[in-house]
Amino acid sequence: MREVAVVGVGQTPVAEHWGLSLRHLALQAVEAAVADASVPQIDALYVGNMLSGELAGQEHLGALIADFSGMRGIEAFKVEAACGSGAAALRLGYLAVGSGAADTVLVVGVEKMTDALAEDTTAALALAADGEYEAAQGVSFVALNALLMRRYMHEFGYSQADFAGFAVNAHRNGANNPQAMFQFALKADRFAAARMICDPINLLDSSPVCDGAAAVVLAPAEQAGDLSAAPVRIAASAVGTDALAVHDRSDPMVLAGAAIATRRAYDQAGVGPDEIDLFELHGAFGIMAALSLEAAGFAEKGKGVRLAMEGEIGIEGRVPIATMGGLKARGHPVGATGVYQAVEVVQQLRQLAGANQVADARVGMAQNIGGSGATAFTHIFVRMDE
């Protein structure tokens, strides 16, 4: 298949956007991405979204956003893979350009979560879990992650405080990102004092409910130099799955789907963990960050949290994560997150990440996870002057 590149990126600030509906959020990201690229037209538009039907009273986002963005007539539809929906749309765009079916594709991730009652949002997020064997028993999505974290602490001998480093790192980076929901630093003592949401997950270990949209423009890599001053090649696009229900997994302490997706991505790109300059992982909770680091080969089983404890996840660390704030501080508008990750990796590879710039970043990886690990999308991006 043809090689594919990102030739434009755009995003809205992540926030509680009381004044913007879902279509307006998407439009802002689309306009920014299209303005960032020099493409004559868009052939197709793919939307990543998880909960617009449940929380925003709207399905059928493809046609809606295409029309509202002034692109009536073009190919458009939506993809969904729970919190991994954004990267699913990126995957689809990659296939469309790679196949030759489209030359320029717009990938939009959008989610509007705040125009709903909190209990409805909690119920909607639980649709990512197994409806008949998890959610129907009253287990919320946070609760599933709390069970994983409790097991991790028990099995490998950690305390809840050992996870503080993920939130502290995310907030340190979010403080420098004007698009982030939380632009303030966080100290470990404040983490320790935060009220418990779902023991052992506290408020400051949790990504927020929020609204946002992000977009990227894709084009064939061989034309990318004409379409962008700083194109970024997608060196790998891979997907892996696991059992939807946590209790069905062969080992709940291993994100097998993420491990599959990462291995496939490393194979496609011809790199390994040592070549990854930054890793935008799916840190919806600290436990997901720890397990993701392990699945991606940056730590052995049971040792992912040590990278946070030992300061290895900072901008100058061995494996910088959440470099623009991540899901915790930039925010986690669920179906949009995978596209935000792609935008941020591109910013890093373009050396436009400001105070959060990873020095001479050449290769960046993004991993977007659906549910508590049942679906994982791994994309590897490489600077095109390499």
Active site residue 332: yes
The tokens describing 234, both together, are 């997608």
In the set 7, 26, 32, 88, which binds a second copy (CB under 8 A)?
Answer: 88
Residues in the chain: 386
- Which stretch in 77-85, 170-178, 225-233, 270-278 sits in contact with a second copy by CB under 8 A? 77-85
Q: Where are the alpha helices (DSSP H) in 115-194?
A: 118-125, 141-156, 164-174, 188-193
Q: Does 324 bind a second copy (CB under 8 A)?
A: no
Cα separation, 290 vs 373, in Å, equals 12
Q: Give every CB contact of residue 362 below 8 A, 6+ residues apart in sequence.
A: 277, 349, 382, 383, 386
Q: Does 81 bind a second copy (CB under 8 A)?
A: yes
Question: Residue 276 in contact with residue 364, Cβ under 8 Å?
Answer: yes
User: 114 φ, ψ to 5°?
Assistant: -90, -10
Q: Does 3 bind a second copy (CB under 8 A)?
A: no
Number of neighbours of residue 27 by Cβ within 10 angstroms: 21
Q: Does 76 bind a second copy (CB under 8 A)?
A: yes
Q: Does 120 bind a second copy (CB under 8 A)?
A: no
- Which stretch in 57-65, 173-181, 222-230, 339-347 sits in contact with a second copy by CB under 8 A? 57-65
- Which stretch in 85-93, 108-116, 295-303, 356-364 sits in contact with a second copy by CB under 8 A? 85-93
Residue (278 or 336) nearer to a second copy, CB: 336
In the set 15, 32, 124, 353, which binds a second copy (CB under 8 A)?
Answer: 124
Cα separation, 339 vs 108, in Å, equals 7
Shortest Å distance, C-beta 258 to a second copy:
11
Sign of CA dihedral 240, 157, 313, 300: negative
Q: For the CA atoms of 329, 342, 128, 327, what is the dihedral angle to 10 degrees? A: -10
Number of residues that bind a second copy (CB under 8 A): 66
In the set 32, 135, 147, 343, which binds a second copy (CB under 8 A)?
Answer: 135
Q: Does 260 bind a second copy (CB under 8 A)?
A: yes
Q: Give every CB contact of residue 193 below 8 A, 6+ residues apart in sequence.
A: none
Contact string (CB under 8 A) for a second copy, positions 22-51, x = contact:
-x--------------------x-----xx
Shortest Å distance, C-beta 236 to a second copy:
11
Nearest to 65, CA basis, from 7, 111, 24, 98: 24
Active site residue 24: no
Q: How far is CA 6 from CA 33, 223, 297, 384, in A?
A: 10, 11, 26, 10
Q: Which sequence positions are flagged as catalytic?
A: 83, 332
Query: Using CB under 8 A as the criterion, which residues of the chain lie in contact with a second copy when the complex forms?
Result: 1, 21, 23, 44, 50-51, 53-54, 56-64, 66-67, 72-82, 84-85, 88, 91-92, 95-96, 98-101, 124, 127-132, 135-136, 237-244, 248, 256-257, 260, 370-371, 374-375
